[in-house]
Amino acid sequence: MDLGLNDKVVFVAAASKGLGRAIAEEFGREGAKVVMCSRDEAAISKAAREIAEATKAETLPIVADLSKKEDCERFITTGLEKFGRLDVLVVNAGGPPPGRFEELDEAAWDKAYQLTLMSAVRLTKQALPELRKTKGNVVFSTSTSVRQPTQYLNLILSNAIRAAVHGMLKTLSKDLAKDGIRVNAVQPGRIATDRLIQLDTDTAKRTGRTAEEVRREYETSGMIPLGRYGDPKEYAAAVVFIASQRASYITGVSLQVDGGMLQAMF
């Protein structure tokens, strides 16, 4: 299936590892030019080089701390200086740390707010003039906890602030439709990344188990109907599809990629 992404310019935030890296590589395989960022210069340069070698795509690594306004702006402007256009923006950021409500001070809330919500606001605002020219689209990479937050009691930072991102995207999807801009989200469930190892380790410490025992419970108890954690490539494929021309009539949608884990009908 031709997804119509050849020579499109895609900006993928937080792409040195995990889901962001997988998304950037999948766009590269579809022939897109990929602008990617991370706070870690060595990590993002290595990831960009490896993706270029594996996919033959043009990549541009940029050092940016997405919790800072000036870095969000530089990510977009530097990519535009190189490629001259922006067709797809993938808003992604490392998730806030785990913690229960009583454990978190105001500094933790502010840090999560800057990284999770304000990076989405700033990147989208910076990209909009170019997206209007290309009739491009935005994909927010978020979490299934937005739909069912009570299953992750130690992720209150993520649960609260990602919900704000979804409120924003739903409003934007209607507001920007007149400009031909689509706005969607893709929600990962239990996808096997370093982030999930961190979360499983936190759960293990709180419950007196090992991280391996936590994972085994998810995979064998029926909590995940497909019986396994997802591969980052499976998640990336969903993001790339919803950003592609094949999904040209889809906007305002939150697509879960979770092996059937969520029990909600909508």
Quote the CA–CA distance of 117 and 125 in Å, as a whole number.
12
What average pLDDT score do residues 87-102 get?
93
Q: Calculate ∠ Cα 250-34-252, nearest 5°.
A: 15
Tens of pLDDT, residue by residue over 16-46, are 999 999 999 999 999 999 999 999 999 999 9
What is the percent of the chain with per-residue pLDDT over 90, rounded to a whole number?
87
pLDDT for position 89: 98
Question: Bigger pLDDT: 232 or 146?
Answer: 232
What average pLDDT score do residues 67-83 get?
98
Tens of pLDDT, residue by residue over 183-236, are 999 999 999 998 888 889 988 988 999 999 999 999 999 999 999 999 999 999
What is the percent of the chain with per-residue pLDDT over 70, rounded to a whole number?
100
pLDDT for position 154: 84
pLDDT for position 94: 86
Quote the CA–CA distance of 177 and 207 in Å, as a whole number.
46
Q: What are phi and psi of 197, to 5 degrees?
A: -60, -40
pLDDT for position 185: 97
DSSP code string of 134-147: HT-EEEEE--GGGT
For the chain, the structural domain boundaries read 9-190+232-257, 192-229
pLDDT for position 216: 94
The set of residues, in sequence order, having a beta carbon less than 8 Å from that of 4 and lying 6+ positions away, is 244, 245, 246
What's the CATH code, domain 9-190+232-257? 3.40.50.720
Distance, C-alpha 69 to centroid of its chain: 18
Quote the CA–CA distance of 234 and 23 in Å, as a whole number.
10
Quote the CA–CA distance of 229 and 237 in Å, as a whole number.
16
Confidence of residue 145 (pLDDT cuts 50, 70, 90): confident
Q: Calculate ∠ Cα 252-256-258, nearest 5°.
A: 175
- Per-residue pLDDT at 147 exceeds 90: no
Q: What are phi and psi of 7, to 5 degrees?
A: 70, 5
- Per-residue pLDDT at 148 exceeds 80: yes
What is the pairing mode between strands 137-141 and 88-91? parallel
pLDDT for position 150: 74
pLDDT for position 59: 98
- Per-residue pLDDT at 140 exceeds 90: yes
What is the pTM for the complete model shown? 0.95
